[in-house]
Chains A and B, each alone.
Chain A
Amino acid sequence: MQAHPSHRNLTQLLSKYPKAAGALFQVYNDLTLAQRWTEVEVIDLPDCQRAAIKGLKPSSDAGEPASVYVVLPCSLAESISTSWFRDAFASLGTNAPEAIFVAITAEDSSTVYYKISKGIVKPPL
């Protein structure tokens, strides 16, 4: 893993939170290299014992404009709860976005993204 080009951007956070290191590395690679997110920065969230990734999601073919999202990586082995999400929103501070993505990684590098909003949100038409 050390030889991977993404590693130098993440070294400090990978060693700070070793239990979340695999998920962070996989999600960072997926976002920057496969999903082609731009202006990616990594945010340290000590209360959640992990780092989050903030970046600009490219506009999709359906015509939505590019927008900034925060992604919280976690692995399938962890068990999470609603208080976990509450802590995540709280750690993101006062200008936290309305919705975040939770990226769940599996051991074969499959990643699924779930959009979590603060409170009940009516689905779009």
Chain B
Amino acid sequence: MSQVQPPSRSKKFSQKFSARRAENNLIYANPLPVIFPSPPPPPPSLLHRLLGISVSHVENPHCEGVLDLSTRSVWVLGMGDAMLLWQRGFFGKGDLSRSEPSWLARQVNARKQAKKGGLTSEEVTAKRRAERKQFKLDRAKAMAAAAAEAEVAFQEQGRVISTTYAPDGTRIIPSAATWKPTRTQEAQTGEPASSPKPEDTDDDEDDDEEEPIQNIEHLQLTLQEAFFLLWNLDCLSVLNPDTDTPLTLSQIWHAFQNAYIPSPTLSPSLNAPHSPRFDNPFLINYIVYHHYRSLGWVVKNGIKFCADYLLYKRGPIFSHAEFAIVVCPVYEDPADQESSPFNLQNASPFSWSWLSTINRVNAQVQKTLILSYVTIPARSRISEDVLSSPACFAHYSVREVVVRRFIPARMRD
């Protein structure tokens, strides 16, 4: 009865894993950009103890973004503000990265790849995908070879041999747990092509000059995220792209709605829309965004999974999204839908095949599909004057329906 020693690799791995988790808990500790630092302990007086602890002040980072109408978004160009908005609440997305603005880090890595340490998240994912692809090829080859050998053995000698285990007990077909990438792949994955550097001058030479790379990435916030930050938390100011001056709240309210109305110019229209409508896509999407954000979910874009939004419990860093939201606007008055200049998606009932497709895509990635019905008030019942301010949100409602596929044969338990 020998003592079973845990292999040293797994002990180091679990230590590294918990260290990474602790580090993430420190970096991503704040769920919102504004912080309420705990006040210093009150002086020991009876009056203070009776009144209770009060918040002494609020730390507001006052970030700045510029409105861009052709992409219908707000760009945060300063990297300090960008990282702050990402780390406190996962707002926005780096426009040259998969999530966190990491383009500059990846370019620097590509330069210093001879003596480098860690990889950025894109490179880690690329490496993992390449390894998995190679594992699948190896496994397919091994299965084909084992099957051919078993076939031959049966034909010639009439005996059946196992296709999974060789006579000496080792596995013929590799399993994901024990397969290791070979040396040649590791050399390949560590080798990136040289990246084009648009900011360098034309007569730049190839030798290692250590010229600092100019960061041309920005953090891109959707209009809904930007409005959430500036209206509820007052921590973002949006600049007019033409004049570089901050826009007032009512100018922003009008400009964001006008962004969805086709206009001949690319300058923001800061006046109220000629015919304001309750079914403006900005309003509908904002209502859904605000609904889930205010309940504590981290809301991100869901285009990768055929949905409108993805809900994360704490953030993309911590776990995969559990829910995929599809926004279904519902008109209280059908006449409004006919007269609508916006062709809102999913406002008419889905076809069965479309719903089935979206459900299947999300079921494959272990997400639950949620249909969020947003009720659009009727113009006949409520005057459009309420659209002059965000107070109009009180007239909408959001209801959720969860869709799961039921398979009678498999769901007996």
Convert B197-232 into 0s and 1s, putting 1 for each residue whose CB lies closer than 8 angstroms to a CB of A.
011000000000000000011001111010000000
Q: Are A29 and B189 in contact (CB under 8 A)?
A: no
Residues of A within 8 A of B225 (CB): 108
Q: How far is the CA of A8 from the CA of B195 in the complex (A)?
A: 19
- Which one of B94, B185, B216, B300 has the highest number of Cβ atoms from chain A below 10 Å of its Cβ? B216
- Contacts known (A104-B303, A112-B303); A36 close to B193, Cβ less than 8 A: yes
Q: Are A108 and B222 in contact (CB under 8 A)?
A: yes
Q: Are B262 and A108 in contact (CB under 8 A)?
A: no
Tell whether A121 is near chain B: CB-to-CB under 8 Å. Answer: no
Residues 21 to 78 of chain A near chain B (Cβ within 8 Å):
21-22, 25-26, 29-30, 32-34, 36, 38, 58, 60-63, 76-77
- Contacts known (A26-B95, A30-B96, A62-B130); A110 close to B70, Cβ less than 8 A: no
Q: Are B70 and A109 in contact (CB under 8 A)?
A: no
Q: Are B216 and A61 in contact (CB under 8 A)?
A: no
Q: How far is the CA of A14 from the CA of B225 in the complex (A)?
A: 26
Q: How far is the CA of A106 from the CA of B221 in the complex (A)?
A: 11
Known contacts A58-B193, A108-B73, then 10 further A-B pairs from the complex at CB < 8 Å, ordered by chain A residue: A22-B70, A25-B70, A25-B71, A26-B71, A36-B192, A60-B130, A106-B303, A109-B93, A110-B304, A112-B303
Can you report 24 A-B residue pairs in the complex whose CB atoms are below 8 A from each other?
Answer: A5-B198, A5-B199, A5-B216, A18-B266, A21-B70, A21-B266, A30-B95, A33-B103, A33-B195, A33-B198, A33-B217, A34-B96, A36-B193, A36-B196, A38-B196, A61-B127, A61-B130, A62-B134, A77-B281, A106-B301, A108-B221, A109-B71, A109-B93, A109-B220
Interface on B for A, CB 8 Å cutoff?
Answer: 68, 70-73, 92-97, 103, 126-127, 130, 133-134, 185, 188-189, 192-193, 195-196, 198-199, 216-217, 220-223, 225, 241, 262, 264, 266, 281, 300-301, 303-304, 343
